[in-house]
Structure 1
Amino acid sequence: MTLISVATRSDTVQNRQCNVPSKDSHSDLMESSATDLDDDNVISELIGDGGRWQFTWALLVFVFQIPTTMHMFTFVFQTTHKDFWCARPDHLKSINTDLWKNLTQPLGLCTILDIDYSRFDASNFEETMSNLSTSNLDFRKCTKFEYDDSKMGPTITSDYNLICDQVNMLSVVEMCFLAGAAVGSVTSGWISDKYGRKHILMIFVTMQVVIGTLISFTTSLHMYMVLRIIIGFASMTVTVVSFVLVVEYVSGRWRIIIGILNLLPVPLSYVITAGIAYVAREWRLMQILTSSPWVILLVMWYWLPESPRWLLSNGKIDKLKISLEQAARMNGQVLPSNFEKTLEVYSQREKAEISTKEPVLAVFNKEFRKTTILVIIVWYSMILLYFGLTLHLNNLGGDIYMNTVISGLLEAFTICISIPIVLKIGMRPSVVSYMVIAGVACLGVNFVPEGNLWIIIMLAIIGKCLIGANNAMVSTYTAQQYPTMIRNFAVGVGNFAAGLALITIPYMWLLERVQVYLPMSIMGCAGIVAGIGLYLIKNNPQV
């Protein structure tokens, strides 16, 4: 699941080498003025931009993206369409379902002939109905339904009868998770800034496991919806905070690389979820299998290190000293003596700056107003496009399992090749081109000749893969536009726009009833608009 926030503190992303500071360099560092320090320089001078300590913990934290993605994506399989019909009375259960539907539901599967079926017998049902004059009979709405369980067992749709006049409730149910995720995307940055990355991450992972498992035992639709709101909030918080944590472990060019790789488990999670759904074939079992096993992540609670940059910014020098000593030891480096004095100098300066900055006003002042407005447009459009395709790819047709596996593997490949592309041509050309091409691919479905479903699905998969890679880069690109003290809040503004997009998605897809490819056209236009917005965002020379 992949809305992300960046709580980085670096003013520029630099390609620094992992230098081991000597005692002499420490003396120089101590003599530098407090205004010349920033936390990236301080931390990286001590333990390097990246090393075995940073990479090991970043790799482990990557895993937290898997259960989060599963909680979001399993809904696609839990609401898979199944054939249905008005339920047969108990004494007529032996009647062939096709015969029953043809004789009793000529106007559609949501209504049935209004007659007394208790006087019919299964042995002569067809003969009796054939001799019956139905021209003057009325129809009534079905109150009970049966479902075709030959390919898929019970689903949320069948358990709660989200069909016929209740079909629009599917969008409302889907929106519950996304509404919770929208709130989580906005509040998670503030929560983790205040209370730290580590404990907030593990608390919400615990919520994921507990609430995710409880969902499988729900007895009513309202209970399911409430728990989906909570799990959406918890899942998005885990996504945001885990991303913040991994990018704060590293600095320099590794921040771009780790920031992109952090989303690599997301498309792989789509493939895993499709495999679980293919085997389980029952929504409650799917829910348990995608929730309960992740209790194993709680083992990391004791050993997982807090973000060194958060510890420094909050003046927790004693804990920071322990983490840096562990990192230096694992990276094979030697820390200078009395290095904690250097940390105290920066920590005091950081607190003074925080008390004099008002980020709400700063991101909308004359200097950053245009950038902030463009960021809002870009994030809304990007999330509308990415999750619109991710959650509704099956709306276009084809085999849902095969489409998911192919698109997941291709998206993972696209994320991987994005790293050398970004390092070679730069962030701005990459995010602009990816966004525009994804939009064009979505618009392209309108020009595919009828009968070529595979071309339509391939265009959608191309768009999904490109926007998925962009999803891993845009947050870092956004963060680069703002100075340190308002950066996290600025990306939070983007997350707010993304949250609004999440809530919009289920209702946007209802427009396919007006024109089958209208949602794809909207997403295509959104991609092009976002690409233009990214092009208009210029790197601020003051940052």
Structure 2
Amino acid sequence: MAERDRIDDVLSAVGYGRWQISILMATTVANILPLHYMTSSLLSAPMSFRCFALGSSNSSNSTLISERDSLGTAWFNDECLDPPDSDLAVAAHSARSALSAVRPLTRHATGLPSCPEIEYDSSVYSITVISEFDLVCEREHLRPFFQMVITIGAIAGCFAGGSISDSMGRKKAMQIGCMLGLPACLAMAFVPWFPVVLALRFVTGISVRMVMLPTINLTMETCPPRYRTLIGMFMGLPYSVCVILFALVGYFISNWRYLQLIWTLPFLVMAPITLFVKESPRWLVQSGSGKEAVAELAEAAKMNRVELPSHLADYLEKMKEDTCGFSGGEKEKVPLKQLLATTISSSGEYLRSPAMLIIIFVAPMMYFLMCLLYNGIILNVNNFTSTNPFQYIAMLSVFEILSVLLTTPVNQMVGRRHVIGSTLLLSGLLFFVVMFVPDEIWYAKWVLVMISFFLAGGGYQVAFMYVPELFPTMVRTKGYAMVTLAGSLGQCMAPIVTDLLAQQAWWAVGVSLGCSGVIASFLVFALPETKNIPLPETIQDVEDRRNNNVKVRTEKHKRALTVTDSQHSRY
């Protein structure tokens, strides 16, 4: 490693204390924000319905209500009607005002030819996006869009968050993300138009990624190496705990707008925290701001009540003179044309590195499949159980918390790749098993799905901290954004699998999620191990890490061959 890479030594001497409190707070809140990606499991949960011809009055209001009550949920058959002739529709429409008094209070007009009037089963949810905007029959294809649009926004947020974080700093990117997310989340709880709701949800997807990506990188870059695994693993616990809270709140508050308003609170808390959070010294050094980096590290030592050794103090003094950024040139404003040429040149440098090429192509594929599996299990709630979705979501979160707690010591012992590979493989295989369990043995399905999510949650959390460790500092957020973008595509595919494909074939969900876990488990072993290895600062560091890993594996192989030869020589 280059001399400027000794920031790890400084952070080790500084330790973990008061200086990192604001960063830890930001990390805790930022890791709650992804709840917006899974809220569709309750906000846009499908509700059973019954369609009526426009202005129909085959029986009195009291008779209809008594018949509905006697049949219970069987009253709602989820069946659309044949579109009526235009003449009949006009005649029925002219009689609507005269017949409105005899219609049940829960019926309302939809404007849909195959479901002119509709009544929803409100026994589980009082109102969701589906029932408010009547996303049934002809509009049924719009149902997955409520989930997909936020993941499309997340894809855009990966580009924006990665570029802003690496060019303007981690702190600035977090602040811009909050400025976008807070008003978008608030407005979504009040606007009455579905296209506007989708647009605001798109902006929410952008803002969540713009806050999360730089926050995670900031946490890893300011954490002493000996605490990096522990902090990285426990970053996911706030999310898991709040999922339980989300299910609990959803049980008592079944109106999607109130739930949306409640889950604006994380942005409301995050916004003021970003004013006090510290900038990453690593980013400051790599961007050519050596004096600011030294000031941050000196403040860190002071706040943590640590006196740096003389050789590290000398290193910080030397760092003050460092005004050379990643390109190695003097930090100065350059023309746009020259900046574009430099960017293209640096991009070619990454593509010429064999180690970086493997990371650039393999890591996104692995993350795509892993996110499809992880989010598919969560969004499969409405296929798995329609009577108790709150319990399903809460139990998933409990199992994820247990997974993080149990996976953390294993991660410290065996390394990132083995944990990710083994958990995803077993999780995918279990989903194949679930396909062949009869519906009558429902408790066996529950157990297998929960164990599958237990394993997927552990692998997901390790990958969450593993991916930023793969990339050098100046492109760490861009690299993480690229991989997260692929994960967002996996999230985007999840509602298609669990909603649309599930209606076409009974095996679609099991095969899709099972294959995702198995294939992802094999891909991860093409990536380098990062356990107990300093964060890379340059491309050369990434190459050195790969060469060292290859060298270690070669030496282990030679030792194994030596042992085998010695055993054969005995005979």
Q: How does 1:174-323 map to 2 (within 5 A)?
A: 174-292=147-265, 294-323=267-296
Match of 2:79 in 1: 109
Instruction: Give the CA RMSD over aligned residues.
Output: 3.4
Change (3 A) 1:367 1:464: same
Question: In the alignment, is the contact (CA less than 8 A) between 1:202 and 1:301 conserved in 2?
Answer: yes
What is the letter of the counterpart of residue 504 of structure 2? V
**1:362/1:459 Cα in 2 relative to 1: closer, same or farther (>3 Å)?**
farther
The counterpart of 2:51, out of the listed 83, 86, 98, is 86
Contact 2:22 2:276 in 1 (8 A): no
The equivalent of 1:142 in structure 2 is 115
Q: Which residue of 1 aligns with 2:320?
A: 344
**8 Å Cα contact 1:83-1:148 kept in structure 2:** yes
- Using a 3 Å threshold, how does the CA distance of structure 1 residues 201 and 257 change in structure 2: closer, same or farther? same
Does structure 1 retain, via aligned residues, the 8 Å contact 2:358–2:526? no
Question: Which digits, 9 at most, give the CA deviation of each residue in 1:298-320, with x for residues without a partner?
Answer: 33233221222222222334443
CA–CA distance in structure 2, aligned partners of residues 376 and 107 of structure 1: 42
Shift of residue 428 of structure 1?
A: 2.1
- The answer to whether the 8 Å contact 2:31/2:212 transfers is no
Distance in 2, matches of 1:140 and 1:100, equals 23
Distance 2:102 2:518 in 1: 63
Larger CA deviation: 151-160 vs 451-460: 451-460
Structure 1: how far apart are the matches of 2:270 and 2:527? 39
Q: Deviations over 1:302-353 (max 9, x none)?
A: 3221222222222334443443233212222124567642223555364508
Deviations 1:389-423 (A, max 9, x none): 22333321262111111110110121122211111
3-state SS in 2 of match to 1:143:
strand
1:455 aligns with one of 444, 456, 476 = 444
Q: How many Å apart are 1:110 and its aligned residue? A: 1.9
2:7 pairs with 32, 40, 43, which one?
Answer: 40
Q: Is the 8 A contact 1:176 1:228 kept in 2?
A: yes
Q: How far off is 1:204 after superposition?
A: 1.3
1:403 aligns with 2:379: no
Structure 1 residues 277 and 42: CA distance shift in structure 2, 3 A? same
Partner residue of 1:526 out of 493, 513, 516? 516
Distance 1:164 1:267 in 2: 35
Give the structure 1 partner of residue 16 of structure 2. 51
State the match for 2:34 in structure 1. Answer: 69
2:490 aligns to what?
A: 501
Would you say the 8 A contact 1:328–1:334 is kept in 2? Answer: yes
- When residues 302 and 185 of structure 1 are mapped into structure 2, their CA distance, relative to the original with a 3 A threshold, is closer
Map Cα deviations across residues 71-105 of structure 1 (whole Å, 9 max, x no partner).
22222111223232235859854342474799xx9
Q: Could you list the per-position Cα deviations for residues 366-389 of structure 1 after superposition, in whole angstroms to 9, with x for gaps in the alignment?
A: 623344332232111111111122
The Cα of 1:215 is off from its aligned counterpart by 0.1
- What is the TM-score of this pair, normalised by structure 2? 0.77
- What's the secondary structure of 1:259's corresponding residue? helix
**CA apart distance, 1:180:** 0.3
SS of equivalent to 2:50: strand
Which consecutive unaligned segments of at least 5 residues does structure 2 have? 104-111, 332-341, 530-545, 550-571
- The offset of 1:270, in angstroms, is 1.2
Query: Cα deviation per residue 1:243-285 (whole Å; 9 max; x = unaligned)?
Result: 1111111131322222221122121121111122112110111
SS of match in other structure, 1:38:
helix
**Measured at CA, do residues 259 and 359 of structure 1 come closer, stay the same or move farther in structure 2, by a change above 3 Å?**
farther
Q: CA 1:376 to 1:338, structure 2 compared with 1: closer, same or farther past 3 Å?
A: closer
Q: Secondary structure at the match of 2:119?
A: strand
SS in 2 for 1:63: helix
Task: Please state how far the C-alpha of 1:470 moved relative to its aligned partner.
Answer: 1.8
Aligned partners of 1:442 and 1:524 also within 8 Å: yes
Deviations 1:43-90 (A, max 9, x none): 426x53x31135523431232235412322222111223232235859
Q: In the alignment, is the contact (CA less than 8 A) between 1:378 and 1:530 conserved in 2?
A: yes
Report what 1:537 is aligned to.
527
Relative distance call for 1:293 and 1:193 in structure 2 (3 A) is closer
Q: Write out per-residue CA displacement over residues 433-487 of structure 1, whole angstroms, 9 at most, x where no aligned residue.
A: 1111111122221221331223223322222232222222225434555555555
Cα distance in 2, alignment partners of residues 51 and 536 from structure 1:
33
Letter aligned with residue 412 of structure 1: I
TM-score, length-scaled by structure 1: 0.81
Q: Identify if the C-alpha distance between structure 1 residues 468 and 239 changes in structure 2 by more than 3 Å, giving closer, same or farther.
A: farther
Between the aligned partners of 1:489 and 1:359, the Cα distance in structure 2 is 13
- Identify the residue that residue 23 of structure 1 maps to in structure 2: none
| Equivalent in the alignment of 1:367 | 354
Is 1:161 the counterpart of 2:134? The answer is yes
With over 3 angstroms needed to count, the CA separation of the structure-2 counterparts of 1:54 and 1:381, relative to structure 1, is: farther
Name which structure has the greater RCO, CA cutoff 8 Å, separation 6+: 1
- The letter of the residue matching 2:363 is V
Corresponding residue SS for 2:324: helix
Distance in 2 (alpha carbons) for counterparts of 1:391 and 1:162: 18
Partner of 1:380: 368
C-alpha separation in 1, matches of 2:293 and 2:353: 37
- C-alpha contact 2:399 2:453 (8 A) present in aligned 1: no
Change (3 A) 1:482 1:180: closer
- Which residue identity is paired with 2:11? S
Mark the CA change 1:208 to 1:440 in structure 2 (over 3 Å): closer, same or farther.
same
- Where do 5+ consecutive residues of structure 1 fail to align? 1-10, 12-34, 126-138
Deviations 1:168-193 (A, max 9, x none): 21112221111001221243122111
Deviations 1:205-248 (A, max 9, x none): 23222110100111111111111111011112222122111111
Alpha-carbon distance change, 347 to 541 in structure 1, aligned in 2, over 3 angstroms: farther
Deviation string, structure 1 residues 347-366 (Cα, Å, up to 9, x no partner): 53645089699453344336
1:427-438 equivalence runs, <5 A: 427-438=416-427
The answer as to whether partners of 1:38 and 1:346 remain within 8 angstroms in 2 is: no
* Letter of the structure 2 residue corresponding to residue 383 of structure 1: C
Equivalent residue number for residue 25 of structure 2: 60
Asked whether the equivalents of residues 388 and 523 of structure 1 are also in contact (C-alpha less than 8 Å), the reply is yes
CA distance in structure 1 between the aligned counterparts of 2:265 and 2:102, rounded to whole angstroms = 51
Number of equivalences: 493
Change (3 A) 1:123 1:505: closer
In 2, Cα distance between equivalents of 1:66 and 1:375: 21
Answer with 275-284 or 451-460: which moved more. 451-460
Q: In 2, distance between residues paired with 1:192 and 1:520?
A: 38
User: Secondary structure of the equivalent of 1:144?
Assistant: strand
> In structure 2, what is the Cα distance between the partners aligned to 1:362 and 1:377?
22
CA distance in 1, matches of 2:343, 2:195: 46
Cα drift, residue 496 of structure 1: 3.2
| 1:446 equivalent in alignment to 2:466 | no
